[in-house]
Structure 1
Amino acid sequence: MKLNVLDVTLRDGSHSVRHSFTVEQVRAAAKGLNASGVPYFEVSHGDGLGGSSLQYGLSKTDELKLIEAAVSECTTSQVSVLLLPGIGTKEDLQSAASLGVKMARIATHVTEADIGAQHIELARSLGLKTVGFLMMSHMAPVEKIVEQAKLFESYGAEIVYVTDSAGAMLPKDVTERISALRQALQCEIGFHAHNNLSMALANTIAAIKAGATYVDGSMRALGAGAGNTQTEVMAAVLERLGYETGIDLYNLIDTANDVIAPLMQQPQEITGSSLILGYAGVYSSFLLHAQNAAEQFGIDERDILMKVGEMKAVGGQEDLIYEVAQNLASKREVVP
């Protein structure tokens, strides 16, 4: 069975390095991914095209320059971009396409596929491989996910992703969702994991067994929260399981070790706070914001994350983190 591995180090990993990728770093990573035979890899701000902002974090380097550098190194691999409607615009997508991007993943909250219709239609008209990306998929019942996935397919998505943005799912959750989509859709299905409960690889394998043919990973697991399924580990395990990926494992390991490891600001591991992300079902990219707010207001970041989880906050509501932190600090100050 042929699987398509999509590496998100240069997009999801942007969260972990505070959006500080340089042209040289992206070029080196892209060269390694291309030499390793990884079919697709994603480049953009962590929150997708247009994400560089005070709310989401400012990029050190214009993402279009990073995309251009990545494309220039590709002879077999293809570059993907992520776009969240309301953050990225149709003009951003057109600019990326003009630089040679070959795939666009249109990401919405799991119950809001309808806001991605025009972006999916535009991506198809630009000749891009077009993906519907259902974020925070743990928050909706299977029936709702099927409904939203069908919307994406009707707009022209060639692949629909179940996305465990909080790293909150267990293998049975993944199996239920992917199996239901496989029965309901004609298009291909993908899965994107986070490792906040140490389930990323197990969940990815569950997704494949249930019918997913596109799976995401990041080198050294570099990504938001506790990171993603580790691409080089996933490639090795899939080979052992008999799946065809076309990836040169040695080259991929070398790229992870020689290019990605030196630029990491800290080891990618499951800390107490990233564990709480998965436990409370909180968007993985909230972690650094919660850490900043905890330092600013002198409170435990885990308390912030638990409260945000209770509020069922989703991507785009990062401002709530600071409001929650301020409220928690005020309550603590008045306790006798």
Structure 2
Amino acid sequence: MNPILISDPTLRDGSHAIRHQLTIQQIDLYSKMVEDASVPILEVGHGNGLGASSLQLGESLVSDIDMLATCRTNLRNTKLGIHVIPGFATINRDLKSAIDIGVNVVRVASHCTEADITKRHIEYCRNRELDVYGVLMMSHMAPASVLVEEAMKMESYGAQGIIIMDSAGSYLPVNVKEKIKALVNSVAVPIGFHAHNNLGMAIANSLAAIEEGATMLDATMRGFGAGAGNAQLEILVAVLQQLGYKTGIDLYKLLDASDVAEKEFLKVPYVNSSSIVSGMAGVFSGFSKPVERIAKQYNLDPKDIYFELGRRKVVAGQEDLILEVAVSLSQLR
């Protein structure tokens, strides 16, 4: 069996769950614990990635630079990773500063049909001799053939692996198998999968991905993340160990760390009616907080907002359309 490379975005995707208000003390504590548990990669930053802290997307309590510098001090064997969406993160301001701090892994992301925008960022990071991966977000919105085309673009730019994200938590294992199989058979670089748990399928979908040849998986402590959360790291590592896969992670230390993290700062996500509808509608999991807030403000059922957002094919970065949809639904009522 191939070893499985685990990347932990608890200090990135997890920040969606608490409106990007992770404190420097929490970041310091968590990075020390994952280093001790030998987690291969720790991804750090605003929920939408490097340079994304803003009024529209939510302002981080701690700056990118301070988050990364704190983790860099604590990480020796665990690699320090960042999520980069061109447009939010600039090369000269954001990316250069992060690399100068000592980032090891850069994951350059785009909407699943817009890989062209990642070219400059991927090439820059490869020239700086970093580990560079391409990420296709909201991958449920494109058929396997289109994902293959976009992945091949990222590979041609120099990406050393391709990760597809189930950003809306809408996949079932059969969907994962189809798309991962197509990618594994079409590109030469490793393939990874990033699960969300809106339909309660995050672990099952992660296993479906490796059954079809994926060798990289994302997971967060206690599932801490946007919407109903991500694949739960401790469960995923335990199940992989039971199945005979190697991750290099010390499960006992990971379990101890999860108990401490939950006590100290993790808000444990769960599957509720809104997250189920979000998954069914194919709406970005990070929209859960603003949808709930705006639905309450306009006395609307958040389920109606989700389905309308899904009908309009709204994606991350279009948070302003949540309000537009709410106003429209309110007027119809």
Name the TM-score class by shorter chain: over 0.9
Q: Distance in 2 between matches of 1:92 and 1:261?
A: 33
Count, aligned residues: 331
Which residue does the alignment assign to 2:112? 110
Deviation of 1:137 after TM superposition, in Å, equals 0.7
> Matches of residues 226-241 of structure 1 in structure 2 within 5 Å?
226-241=228-243
- CA offsets per residue over residues 62-116 of structure 1, 9 Å max, x none? 1210111111111110010001111111121111111111000111000000011
Which letter does structure 1 place at the counterpart of 2:27? V
- Tell me if 1:314 matches 2:307: no
Comparing 248-257 and 38-47, the one that deviates more: 248-257
- Tell me if 1:325 matches 2:323: no
Q: Distance in 2 between matches of 1:274 and 1:264?
A: 19
Q: Percent identity?
A: 45
Q: Distance in 2 between matches of 1:305 and 1:52?
A: 24
Which letter does structure 2 place at the counterpart of 1:101? V
Which residue does the alignment assign to 1:211? 213
Which of 179, 190, 193 aligns to 1:191? It is 193
Contiguous gaps of at least 5 residues in structure 2: none
Comparing 235-244 and 84-93, the one that deviates more: 84-93
Q: Distance in 2 between matches of 1:315 and 1:203?
A: 22
Which letter does structure 2 place at the counterpart of 1:138? H
Q: Distance in 2 between matches of 1:89 and 1:216?
A: 25
Q: Distance in 1 between matches of 2:327 and 2:139?
A: 29
8 A Cα contact 2:26 2:264, kept in partner: no
8 A Cα contact 1:43 1:81, kept in partner: yes
- Three-state SS of the structure 2 residue aligned to 1:203 is helix
- Three-state SS of the structure 1 residue aligned to 2:109 is strand
Which letter does structure 2 place at the counterpart of 1:47? N
- Three-state SS of the structure 2 residue aligned to 1:285 is helix
> Matches of residues 1-336 of structure 1 in structure 2 within 5 Å?
1-90=2-91, 91-265=93-267, 267-332=268-333
Q: Distance in 2 between matches of 1:63 and 1:13?
A: 15
Contiguous gaps of at least 5 residues in structure 1: none
Q: Distance in 2 between matches of 1:93 and 1:260?
A: 31
8 A Cα contact 2:168 2:285, kept in partner: yes
8 A Cα contact 1:82 1:104, kept in partner: yes
Deviation of 1:260 after TM superposition, in Å, equals 3.7
8 A Cα contact 1:217 1:230, kept in partner: yes
Runs of 4+ with >6 A deviation: none
Q: Distance in 2 between matches of 1:170 and 1:4?
A: 22
Which letter does structure 2 place at the counterpart of 1:37? S
Which letter does structure 2 place at the counterpart of 1:304? I
Deviation of 1:261 after TM superposition, in Å, equals 4.2
- Three-state SS of the structure 1 residue aligned to 2:72 is helix
After superposition, the CA RMSD in angstroms is: 0.9
TM-score (norm 2): 0.98
Q: Distance in 2 between matches of 1:318 and 1:99?
A: 31
- CA offsets per residue over residues 4-62 of structure 1, 9 Å max, x none? 11011000001001101111101110111111111001001000011110110011111
